[in-house]
Amino acid sequence: MEAIKHILHYIHKHFTENLSLEKLAAEAHYSPYHFHRLFKEHVGEPPLQYLIRLRLEQSTKELLFYPDKSIYAIAIDCGFSSQSVFARSFKSKYNTSAAEYRKQALQIIQDRTNEYAPDVQQYPVSITRLPPLAIAGEIILLNDEEGIIKTFHQLHNWAFANELSYRHPEYYGVFLDSPFSTPLDKCRYMAGIRVSRPVKDKVCNNLGGVTIAQIPVLGNYKVLTDYAMYVKKKWVKDSGYQIIQGIPGFEQFSGITPSKPYAQHYRTICIGIQPV
């Protein structure tokens, strides 16, 4: 349903803002009552519950990826009105405090990183400057690996028909949620293609304009998560760089073959970095 698809894109772009049921209903051009009913019917949870879940899942990403960032700053940056409101919501969902969650999760990640580091180190991390890129795409769920490649293929045909694609198409996948803290059936992934100008009927994202650490990968999301964690938790320590806050990690595809599964496509993991 286009109205629900539009509002999901809208929430994705504005989830840190003060979004009331009335404001979301107005954006979808429905009464609050009918909007609430339609949203729950199509998405599986009420709109404000969905919004709070996105904020909490974003907070878990920040707790893990930015261990020096204060919990107060994370709460405010993720759209909560205060640290106390955030603390209650976090405890209700995860049955622990944000500080304890961070402590336990970082230890798990450290143990896991030490385990697979020797395998990952055979693929050296390189550093490059990525120019600004305009990406148009669709948001899908990470548990639908078959749908990822299908969506890329549809985007290719759409961009070509609308004279938006480049001579050599560039495909990017943006991880809006982390598989480490979000169930796959709710983990959002943006399949995107580089376009020559902004568009209105797709999710748009601006990538690049920053220095990136990149490492090649072949495999499913679990392999990709291991490699990304290696870069963020082990490589970066001695690199002279730090992770740029607020920029999601993404992957660049060397090409898309519709008949090949997602896990059999060669990609490059890209993570925004800046000097310490």
More confident residue, 250 or 1: 250
Does residue 128 surpass a pLDDT of 90?
yes
pLDDT the model gives residue 85: 96
The whole-angstrom separation of Cα 57 and Cα 112 is: 21
Tell me how far apart the terminal alpha carbons of the chain are, to the nearest angstrom. Answer: 46
Q: Which residue has the higher pLDDT, 172 or 13?
A: 172
Structure-token pair, residue 86: 């955030």
pTM of the shown model: 0.84
pLDDT > 90: percent of the chain:
63
pLDDT for 110 equals 80
pLDDT at 117 over 70: no
For the residues of 122-189, what is the DSSP string, one character each? Answer: TS--EEEEEPPEEEEEEEEETT-HHHHHHHHHHHHHHHHHTT-S-SS--EEEEESS-TTTS-GGG-EE
**Rounded to an integer, what distance in angstroms lies between the CA atom of residue 106 and that of residue 98?**
12
Choose the weakest-confidence range: 32-41, 51-60, 150-159, 226-235: 226-235
pLDDT for 116 equals 66
Q: What is the percent of the chain where pLDDT is above 70?
A: 97
Tell me what the mean pLDDT of segment 236-243 comes to.
90
Higher local confidence (pLDDT), 165 or 38: 38
Residue 242 phi, psi (nearest 5): -135, 155
Q: Residue 87 and residue 155: Cα distance in Å, rounded?
A: 40
The pLDDT value given to residue 87: 97
> Cα(119)–Cα(121) distance, rounded to whole angstroms?
6
- Token pair listed for 138: 């669709």
Asked if residues 210 and 271 have their Cβ atoms less than 8 Å apart, the reply is no
Higher pLDDT, 141 or 119: 141
Structure tokens at 19: 């979004």
Q: Which of 44-58, 172-186, 234-248 has the highest mean pLDDT?
A: 44-58
Better-predicted residue by pLDDT, 260 or 223: 260
Domains with residue ranges and CATH for the chain: 2-103 (1.10.10.60), 126-275 (3.20.80.10)
